[in-house]
Structure 1
Amino acid sequence: MDTAIAEVERGGRVESRHAGTAVVVDAAGDVVFALGDIERPTFPRSAVKAFLALPLVESGAADRLGLGDEELALACASHTGEPAHVAVAARMLARAGRDVGCLECGTHWPVDDAAARDLARTGGAPSALHNNCSGKHAGFVCLACDRGEAPGGYVDPGHPIMREVTAALADVTGAPHRADNRGIDGCSIPTYAIPLRALAHGFARFGTGHGLGAERARAAARLRAAVAASPFMVAGTGRFDTRLMQALGPRVFSKMGAEGIMAASLPQQGLGIAVKCHDGAPRAAEVAMAALLTRFLGPEGAGDPILGTLARYELKNWNGIRVGEVRATGFT
């Protein structure tokens, strides 16, 4: 039987329940908390973007191209397409001598409503720079150009750059990434179904460097520092990851993925956390992650107001009247 990780209350009654799976793993791979079937294969989707950015840093390409904190944070991002995100993605491509025409992520309107309205109001049209994955893709283009590889077709599993970043995924998570567990992500790159336990273990290793080679561990530390310095770049206005890391800084590295995936590193505690909401609802995965962070950050987590707000928040109607709440369940 599936276990609820979040519930929605209205009028003093539970109106909806979201079932899911959650796991906390230490850097040695030992499970310290589990809820549900943690071996069930799950597509991590965008939660692993930082792992995909590791070769960009460890190869020296980021330094040679002059990529700073904002650029590296955007390479790890699922951003909202606000003007600052678009500008940094364009800057990354320019550093490699390329432009938006190299991006193979597709085009959509900014996720941020205000940014989308402003773009439409001025007669503008979205480009691939507005795609929430444009920073990740710009990172692939930068790595390809630095390697002397033609970037065209980099989304294909057989492209040298995609083979390199896929190898990094397999190394960090310890799970196989092969054709038999491969799907296609929303931005057209491969995504691989792996156990949720392996995803959490990967985040524990990413947060500590334990079990990674020296260069890869240094690259992970640099990416964490970049995101802590520029948390707006990794998500955007009002988004869970940005709000969390603006408040907690380097104590937590958090990354959402599509279809109700959340993952996080707690470097000081040496832990990785992964959550999957089975019906794909991000609201459930987010409140569950906040509840787990509250528990496993220890006293500092229990006393942090941002975590309390993210783990349990009010629902209001269009007149601003409180009608209920969304809250995590099963993590006390």
Structure 2
Amino acid sequence: MRSGIKQVAEHAGVSIASVSHVINNTRYVSDEVKRKVYQAMEELDYRPNSAARSLRSQKSNTIGLIVPVLPSDTSNFFFMMVAQGIQYTLKQHGYHLLLSNNTTEQIEDEQEQIKLFNSKMIDGLFIASIAEDVSYLTDIVRSNYPVVFIDRKPTGYIGDSVLADGIGGAYEAVQTLIIKGHRRIGMLTGELGITTSNERYEGYKKALADHDIPFDSSIVRIAESKLESGYESVKDLLAEQEITALFIANNVLTMGAMKYMQERRIQIPTELAIIGFDDYDWTQITTPPLSVIRQPSYEIGVKSAEIMLERIENPGSICKEYRLPTALILRGSC
């Protein structure tokens, strides 16, 4: 049986009227009472009736954002740029952004973060889920507010999704290497199972197929997204296989691979041509500067926020997938 406002009041040790005022923001309530009510709502997993809330035109004007940000992951800059785009756009419309980092990359922590957002009465949720299947959202969100997926398109729950064109970006990178005369083009990618890795892998294979180059799994390395993995993977690949070019579909793996190649004094691009994924400041100070696929991170944030605002105003429209184009930045590595 679902908890109601009476149960919340009893659990918090306050009156039903106080709970109502906290939920509806209809009268001043002390911070201490608010804290007790929000805590009780979280512990009881309580959300007000969405229809009644709509009739009262009651909004928190707050939207949550959950991203998988790890302390050691330099690609966190991507999600921070996305967050900036979201926050700037929401601010223009009187909304606030609550940011939560999933530093453990555990699905249980992701679920707990959403429950905490629920207690804050959010009006919507942006999420870059670590899971490929997010059917758990059905029980936690219960369609009480819109969900916009960023940077990936999971299954199991209906929501809008906004992401870069990973297939197109990878395709352009590999095609560029092919046009420059390369046919033995290796690939280093993060673990498959999320949209970003899957699509870059697909783009790599599609470019080869369209230019009549057989796919060779022996020159592909799939690794955990860590600098050490990039280092060891490219070391292993170059020791076992003859390649003239390498496409690296992950920023952290690119860093590890470049570290190994600089230590071994491999001449780039004469011995090995390279194109990486994601454009960060460090890619411009390698020797030579690194050619990369640039993702529209800030623009993804802006687009996501625009979709969220539209979804809040018009909740009945059909959810869609939005893909923003990447850009090939040619420097000296290919």
TM-score, structure 2 as length reference? 0.21
Q: Of the two, which has the highest radius of gyration?
A: 2
